[in-house]
């Protein structure tokens, strides 16, 4: 009987703010995931649909999605994912600075699995990312 290779979990981070990208990457367990970072909603959908230049991209196990993105907003990404059978099952955490009730409700209506407001200070931000990581990659059974 052979040894089964366990591949790293795939994480897609869709965020346009370089500082927030750095905070997310610094907060995650180093080397634990294959991480792809995209900086606009249009590129995220190309990646998810495996359109050029992402033809060989891996299906993410989890998406961290900002709402305030260029080209297509996070909610536009969620709406497109909701209409696509192969994408709607990908767990998606909205990680955003918006605390608007409208954004929260709309994100959940469009299929977000979780809505997390970005904390304003460094330590709380890192703690929030670690809690997301702990929950989604340790406590939850992912497909």
Q: Report yes or no on 83 lying in a domain.
A: yes
Q: How far is CA 139 from the centre of its chain?
A: 17
Number of domains in the chain: 1
Q: Report yes or no on 142 lying in a domain.
A: no
- Name the pLDDT band for 1 (thresholds 50, 70, 90): very low
Q: Report yes or no on 103 lying in a domain.
A: yes
69-114 pLDDT, tens digit each: 999 999 999 999 999 999 999 999 999 999 999 999 999 999 999 9
- Name the pLDDT band for 4 (thresholds 50, 70, 90): very low
Give the residue numbers spanning the domain of 52.
9-136
Q: Report yes or no on 81 lying in a domain.
A: yes
Q: What is the CATH number of the domain that holds 99?
A: 3.40.50.2300
42-79 pLDDT, tens digit each: 999 999 999 999 998 999 999 999 999 999 999 999 99
Q: Report yes or no on 31 lying in a domain.
A: yes
Q: Report yes or no on 4 lying in a domain.
A: no
SS3 content of the chain, % helix, strand, coil (to 5): 40, 15, 45
| Axis-axis angle for helices 74-83, 41-48 (nearest 10) | 20
Q: Report yes or no on 3 lying in a domain.
A: no
Residues 6+ apart with CB under 8 A from 42: 71, 72
């Amino acid at each position: 009987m052979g040894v089964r290779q366990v591949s790293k979990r795939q994480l897609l981070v869709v965020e346009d703010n370089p500082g927030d990208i750095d905070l997310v990457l610094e907060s995650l367990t180093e080397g634990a995931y294959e991480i792809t970072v995209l900086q606009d909603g249009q590129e995220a959908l190309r990646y998810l649909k495996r359109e050029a230049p992402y033809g060989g991209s891996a299906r993410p196990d989890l998406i961290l999605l900002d709402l305030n993105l260029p080209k297509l907003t996070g909610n536009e990404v969620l709406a497109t994912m909701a209409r696509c059978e192969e994408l709607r099952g990908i767990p998606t955490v909205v990680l955003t600075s918006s605390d608007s009730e409208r954004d929260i409700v709309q994100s959940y209506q469009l299929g977000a699995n979780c809505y997390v407001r970005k904390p304003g200070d460094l330590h709380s931000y890192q703690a929030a990312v670690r809690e997301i990581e702990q929950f989604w990659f340790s406590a939850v059974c992912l497909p």
